[in-house]
Structure 1
Amino acid sequence: MSIFYEKIFPEETKQLFHCMQQLDKETDFMLYLPGERVYQEKKLKHFIQTTQENGILLGVKYQNQIIGFISAQTSKLAKVKHTGYLVIGVQKKFQKSGIATKLFEKLFTWARNKGIHRLELTVITANLPAIRLYEKLGFQKEGLKKDAIYMNNRYYDEFYMAKLLNEKR
């Protein structure tokens, strides 16, 4: 199986959208509900461009289709430019094969090369496989967002998690 880990470019908006749409159908743990995400080419192109300018957007490609991604968005503001906020998603049939770990490894290399010191994310507390992965990769729980997500007729909490790179104080 030939899998490629590459930057996603603006001309790949439809592929990225289809990947995101598939993730929305497969899991409750992405932000959008199935059918809630609307394809708006200009907005998605802008998202890809600004993420690549102020961070990174890596895709996992299999048979010329994007089957997963990781993004790190950073700020140009001096006080927080050392921080990247992460989002990751890998389609269900490709999970548990090391793809997410490989995406994180590539992201960690990029972050260190860019002088990023802190990587952070949020995760629904019921998403135990993701929490185990993040902890295995060195992320630590830093806080709890009570009732942050409403789905399936109830509220869910989210953990704030972060990993410090090149830890120096």
Structure 2
Amino acid sequence: MDREAGEAYIDEAGFKELVTKDSISGRNIFLIAGVNGKIAGFSRCEGSELKRSGHKVEFGVCVLKEFWGFAIGKNLLVQSIKWADSNHIKKITLNVLETNKKAIKIYEQNGFEIEGILKMDKQLSDGSYYSTIAMGRINDKR
């Protein structure tokens, strides 16, 4: 993850509000992966109400470390792609830290291409600077 502990924290009420908002929006989707009654991960596609960018959404995903390696993130990605394609979304964008080679490979296997590199974009807790890889997937099926 590219965040420090507690960064971008959303409390339970804020989390529920976000899920509710996304549930009624035609431009957003919020998916939750549960394991034995516990939230193991979630993903979100967020779109824009602006006409000039209404054709695309930004994808983000989070999986608790104890559930890494069980393809939860990949399954959330695949379901998000299916939702986007069935809702005539032309493009999905995402950002991934350069060191997350496994995620980059999964994104590429699912049709994403590297569109750019944001050099020294993040400074992590180890004090080092890292680049962010900007990726996109275009649904060119007519």
Structure-2-length-normalised TM-score: 0.87
Matched, 1:76 2:61: no
The two structures, once aligned, show a CA RMSD in angstroms of: 1.8
Change (3 A) 1:98 1:41: closer
Matched, 1:94 2:67: yes
* CA deviation vs aligned residue, 1:117-136 (integer Å, no higher than 9, x gap): 10000011111111111111
How many equivalent residue pairs?
Answer: 139
Structure 1 CA distance for aligned equivalents of residues 12 and 79 of structure 2:
27
The residue type paired with residue 55 of structure 1 is: N
Structure-1-length-normalised TM-score: 0.74
The residue type paired with residue 72 of structure 2 is: I
The share of aligned pairs that are identical, in percent, is 25
Structure 2 CA distance for aligned equivalents of residues 131 and 57 of structure 1:
21
* CA deviation vs aligned residue, 1:29-82 (integer Å, no higher than 9, x gap): 24x311335454443333323333230000001111110111000011111111
Structure 2 CA distance for aligned equivalents of residues 147 and 83 of structure 1:
26
The residue type paired with residue 166 of structure 1 is: D
Structure 1 CA distance for aligned equivalents of residues 17 and 92 of structure 2:
23
Q: Which residue of 1 aligns with 2:120?
A: 147
Q: Which runs of 5+ in 1 are unaligned?
A: 1-28
State how 1:32-51 maps to structure 2 within 5 Å: 32-51=3-22
Matched, 1:160 2:131: no
